[in-house]
Amino acid sequence: MASSEWMEIYRSYTPEEIENEITGLKKEATLYTQQTSGEKSYTKELRLVQDRLQAAIRIRNERTLGARRPSVAFPNFSNGFGPGQ
């Protein structure tokens, strides 16, 4: 599920920044999730990366698809028999 906090943050990004973020997050999402260096161990929470990626993609889609989304029309099936007819 896309994080609403990240969606709010990404809304302030320029289109170029969003594309760069998506590219970086896609790379992070495919990398290893744990690394050990000597006695220290580092773990990356892959789910957080995926949530950020989903939020960034949703914002990009809002911007690109929002302008092309057709207007909504409601058909009238009353055939003149509705209220006030």
DSSP string for 63-79: HHHHTTPPPP------T
Q: Determine, yes or no, domain membership for 26.
A: yes
| pLDDT at residue 65, as a whole number | 85
Q: What is the residue range of 9's domain?
A: 4-66
* pLDDT 10s digits, 30-67: 876 666 677 776 666 788 888 999 999 999 999 988 75
* pLDDT 10s digits, 2-40: 688 999 999 999 999 999 999 999 998 887 666 667 777
Q: Determine, yes or no, domain membership for 74.
A: no
**Nearest to residue 3, comparing CAs of 49, 51, 62, 45?**
51
Average pLDDT over the chain, rounded to an integer: 81
Q: Determine, yes or no, domain membership for 57.
A: yes
| pLDDT at residue 72, as a whole number | 62
* Cβ neighbours for 41, distance < 8 A, ≥ 6 positions apart: 34, 35
Q: Does the predicted model carry a pTM greater than 0.75?
A: no
Q: Determine, yes or no, domain membership for 73.
A: no
User: Looking at the 3D structure of the chain, how many domains does it have?
Assistant: 1
Q: Determine, yes or no, domain membership for 71.
A: no
DSSP-based three-state secondary structure for 53: helix
